[in-house]
Structure 1
Amino acid sequence: MVHLDFKALISPVGIVRMSEFVLTCTCFALVASAGFVNFGLSHWSWCMFCWCFCCFMTLLIHILEFTNLNTKVPISWEDFTTAFAMLAALMMVTASIIYPTFFACSSCSRQIGASVVSWLCFVLYAVEVWLVHKRPGEISGFLSTVPGLLKILETFVACIIFTSLDPVEYKKFPGLQWCVAVYSICFIFSLLIILLTIARLLLVFPFFFDVLVTVCNALAAVMYATAIVIWPLYVFKQNPRPVQCNHCTWDDLVVVTFMTFINLLVYITDTAYSVKLVFFSHHEQEE
């Protein structure tokens, strides 16, 4: 039977989540009423997805905790809510930057209002990350560690890369297709680790799982190192920025290049942390 927990509504986390739901709903309502322009369709779609996805997931989490159905879900609930709050905070900060950059102007009241509300959403999700992390409860551990946070960041940066990719551009050269393969393979690996952690399936793997993750992180760093060289080499070759470029597709090529560099740094950091935890921390514990 469903047992209603009214404390979930009046707790600090509950109040923050209700505020998030209202504000994200307000964001996509303002943006939907303002419409979009064709040249920025992919960016508009990404921002709308961020607000709609966070609004729906926040409401779902709130309902599950209010009805205590979250205790029936066979996942690590604290890991799941922590991971979602961190992901939502990242999504809100990118939407808050992208939307006003492409669509706001001095006379666009609804666009400006949506941008301001979106920044408030980011603040609320950042507060939720802190509240959920500090709340006592069952936490499997990985997503609360530095490598776990880096895994979430890796998947998010890859999503930004995917939204900026233009098939017309990367289909021109096999080297660019290799870069897209790098982004996809590394994204799938990081996402798989997150899902396995939330689903409590890490114990299914043998004891060397940490070593396997470390090796995969190292391989991902090497693959991204090749992409950071190949992508700008091919995509900007004989392709200068158009004179009449106002947030044109050429700018998306720059975004992909920058995000590739960011993810390379993240994977290098992830590899370094993994090596430290697996080889040095375990060795110190044995001594």
Structure 2
Amino acid sequence: MTSIPATVTNTTFTKSIIPGLDSLIIVASPRALIRPLGLLRLLQLASTCAAFSLVIYVGAWMGPMGSWCLFSWCFSFAMTLIVLAVEMAGLQRSLPLSWREFPITCACYAVLFCLSSSIIYPITYVRFMSYGYIRKCAVCAIIFSCISCVAYATEVTWTHSRPGDITGYMASKTGMLKVFESFVACIIFLFLNSPHLYTQEPVLQWCLSVYIICFILTMVVILLYLGKCTKILLIPLTTFLTGMTFLCVLLYTTAIVLWPLYKFSEGFHGVPNREMDSSCNYKHAHSVCVWDRQVAVAFLTGVNLVAYAADFMYTS
């Protein structure tokens, strides 16, 4: 009996998760692009590409705020492109990364990046522009940024709703809080890009150190999970996570007291009213005045304190 050789032209491994969503593990198949998650990622690529392309085309991204928004769209586009390329080529097992954690981490960061750009860009940039062709392009970029934010949020929601035996750490509440905490720290650094905001007093330098230390600790946790390196710790992982979040709560508690005290109290050479800050008396495009920056840092410090407190309660 003569055997007939079989030819395998396409191989796809999928796992049904919820109606309308297939597993993220799709190996070397162009059909990955026509599945719900693939189509969603194509929308993410198209919207972020349109946003940064319009801004670059008309040159409407000068200054720290405009640069941040441009970086946000480019970063989100690049991460989505990497995820799609890896899945199309079937390289998930070849990378020194946990593919269960990497796509959801990228999606979580992209949601926050695109959301921040959708808010920061019109407030600090577009509203200062004169009506015309450039402003129309900038408004279109904002619309595409909002679309991409919704698309990334949809991916995060889909991934988070998967059964617990499939969902990785970064799709859990504590994992998403880690992403949020590190992102808020990045926004704080954005508003503290001028050294004179924290070099006046040693206490303010301490606040900056708090933001840096907590950011590094949080990123260490994220990288441990992405690199599948949690076993290298000399202490139990739960103990490390609990101790780290508790330390961050303590550090941020000092910052939430000291930063407003030294920035807004006249007894500590602070500026209590916005009208007293000369940099806020004029409308400057592409920038935020000093007093507004200080308020933003104080507010974001409180936001991160709440996030770390919630993280500690979930972890312990």
Do Structure 1 and Structure 2 share a fold, with TM-score over 0.5?
yes
2:126 and 2:139 in contact (8 A); partners too: yes
Deviations 1:19-46 (A, max 9, x none): 11111111011112333476xx111111
Name 1:219's counterpart in structure 2.
247
Matches within 5 A, 1:23-102: 23-36=47-60, 41-102=63-124
Residue number in structure 2 paired with 1:283: none
Residues 139 and 205 of structure 1, relative CA distance in 2, 3 Å threshold: farther
- 2:112 aligned with 1:115: no
Question: Is 2:281 the counterpart of 1:244?
Answer: yes
CA–CA distance in structure 1, aligned partners of residues 257 and 296 of structure 2: 15
8 Å CA contact retained: 2:261, 2:270: no
TM-score (norm. length: structure 2): 0.80
Pairs within 5 Å for 1:134-283: 134=161, 139=166, 141-165=168-192, 166-206=194-234, 208-236=236-264, 237-239=269-271, 240-241=273-274, 242=277, 244-246=281-283, 247-275=288-316
Matched-pair contact (CA < 8 Å) for 2:159–2:167: no
Choose 1 or 2 for highest CA Rg.
2
Give the whole-Å Cα distance in 1 for the aligned partners of 2:229 and 2:28.
29
Q: TM-score, normalised by structure 1?
A: 0.88
Report how far residue 137 of structure 1 moved. Answer: 11
How far apart are the structure 2 equivalents of 1:37 and 1:90?
19
Q: Deviations over 1:24-70 (max 9, x none)?
A: 111011112333476xx111111011001111111111111001012
Q: Which moved more, 1:145-154 or 1:105-114?
A: 105-114
Conservation of the 8 A alpha-carbon contact between 1:85 and 1:126: yes
**1:74 partner SS:** coil
Asked if 1 retains the 8 angstrom alpha-carbon contact of 2:126 and 2:138, the reply is yes
CA distance in 1 between counterparts of 2:28 and 2:240 reads: 43
User: Which residue of structure 1 aligns with residue 152 of structure 2?
Assistant: 125
2 CA distance for matches of 1:129 and 1:163? 25
- Could you report, residue by residue, the CA deviation over 1:162-196 in whole angstroms, capped at 9, with x for unpaired residues? 11102111011100100010000000001110110
Give the deviation of 1:209 after TM superposition.
2.1
Distance 1:176 1:139 in 2: 44
Q: Does the aligned pair in 1 maintain the 2:49–2:74 contact within 8 Å? A: yes
Q: Return the alpha-carbon distance in structure 2 between the equivalents of residues 45 and 216 of structure 1.
A: 32
- Taking the aligned partners of 1:137 and 1:68, their CA distance within structure 2 comes to 25
How far the C-alpha of 1:272 sits from its partner, in A, is 1.4
Q: Deviations over 1:233-264 (max 9, x none)?
A: 11234424235153423211111111000000
Across the aligned residues of Structure 1 and Structure 2, the Cα RMSD in angstroms comes to 2.1
Gaps spanning 5+ residues in structure 2: where? 1-10, 12-26
- Name whichever of 135-144 and 8-17 sits farther off: 135-144
Superposed CA offset, 1:101-136 (max 9, x none): 112248321111111111001001011112334568
Deviations 1:61-119 (A, max 9, x none): 11110010122112210211011101100111110000011122483211111111110
Q: Partner residue of 2:24? A: none
Query: Identity of aligned pairs, percent?
Result: 38
In structure 2, relative to structure 1, the CA distance for the partners of 1:191 and 1:205 (3 Å cut) is same
Contact (CA 8 Å) 2:61, 2:67: kept in 1 or not? no
Q: Indicate how the Cα distance of structure 1 residues 27 and 35 shifts in structure 2: closer, same or farther if over 3 A, else same.
A: same
> Is the Cα contact below 8 Å between 2:47 and 2:145 reproduced in 1?
yes
Query: Quick one: distance in 1 between partners of 2:30 and 2:120?
Result: 37
Structure 2 distance, partners of 1:267, 1:37, is: 33
Number of paired residues? 272
Give 5+ residue unaligned stretches, structure 1.
276-287
Q: Which of the pair has the greater relative contact order for Cα pairs under 8 Å at 6+ separation?
A: 1
1:13–1:132 Cα contact (<8 Å) kept: no
